[in-house]
Amino acid sequence: GADDSHGGNLATACLDFAPDIPGNDFDAGEIARTLVLSHAGGAGHQSVTATFTSFGQPAQITYDFVAEDGFMRIDDIAGPGYRLSRIPCTARQAAAPVPAGSGEFCYDTGNSELRLRPAADGSAAFALESVQGGGHSCSAQGRARSVAGGWLWEQTLYGRPCRLEITVTADQAIRFGDPGHGCKMTLCGQRAVLAGLTFPAASLVDCAALARQ
């Protein structure tokens, strides 16, 4: 895996660059406008590829995940001219910690907003606000674990089971599922629902455009 001989910081102990975005600078707005995510693999191994441009330069970063102890954990990252598992180096004793993950993705449909921040272990932090019929709304935030095709957030809320599915669709949308409406009962107003709530790829925006939650 990518952490071979890299010490306690997994794949980052020897790196002097950020593996998620090439170069020393980037255009967050352009990345948000051009980002396309693709997904391949099966139950034991999955790859998520992010394709985008920054300052007009195309880039493609691939994240490889493997199943381990019931979770999908990151195993390797490949980008322009590198694959982390093939970088020879030894662990640094005083290496500064490097933030893990692949950045923050934000969506705004006009009446619903979503922030999604994937982490190196395959999980993803999310924050959702959705205003629906009659001004009734849904609000949810937490950290969802990685599953095939997306993420899953499971909680017991006021004694009720909540199983919130976050799926990346074939057309690059983010869609929420709420089997049995268990999450709606505690996270939404009477006329608002989570099941089927969708953020199309076209609603991806620069996170700076959203008010900080």
- For residue 207, how far is the Cα from the chain centroid? 14
Mean per-residue pLDDT for 178-190?
90
Q: Model confidence at 187, in pLDDT bands (50, 70, 90)?
A: very high
Q: Which amino acid is at 50?
A: A
Q: Is a pLDDT exceeding 70 seen at residue 46? A: yes
SS3 64: strand
Task: Label residue 10 exposed, middle or buried (CB < 10 Å: 0-12, 13-18, 19+).
Answer: middle
Does the pLDDT of residue 213 top 60, yes or no? no
Query: Which residue is listed with tokens 């999450």?
Result: 183
Query: 102-126: per-residue pLDDT in tens?
Result: 578 899 999 999 999 998 888 999 9
> Whole-number mean pLDDT of the chain?
79
Does residue 133 or residue 147 have the better pLDDT? 147
